[in-house]
Amino acid sequence: MLGEARTEFAGLLGATVKAFPPAKLGPGGFVVPGDPWLERGETVGTFRMRLEGVLLFRAVNNETATDAINGDVVTAVVAVENSDEWKVQTVSAPYAVSQEGDNAKYLAVQITATKPIRL
């Protein structure tokens, strides 16, 4: 159930977003558990699951990266909000990331969303 929810959330965020962190960073993104990952729901046996989608953009130049971030973030937020159960909680400001041993630089944006689940 938890894995299926991660895959569903990744699909809402975009075609190149993986349901798990990749071994090597690249454009697209991935999903990780949020904090807290699970919270007690409103009724017995229900929980609220929190996931974070990390969208990655190649930091080629500020104008190109800004346009890509704006478009992709809006598309992802609208897709999540238009789903039946997922709700966006926060969207971070873009921040720089890189991977040790790799010269590529990326800008990342985290989209945190929750979904009610029954375990």
Q: Over the stretch 45-99, which tens digit does the pLDDT of each residue have? A: 899 999 999 999 987 777 777 888 899 999 999 999 999 999 999 999 999 898 8
pTM of the model: 0.91
- What's the CA gap between 61 and 76, in Å, rounded? 22
Amino acid identity at 10: A
Among 34-43, 57-66, 73-82, 105-114, where is mean pLDDT lowest?
Answer: 57-66
All domains in the chain, ordered by first residue: 2-118 (3.30.980.50)
Q: How many C-beta atoms lie closer than 10 Å to residue 104's C-beta? A: 14
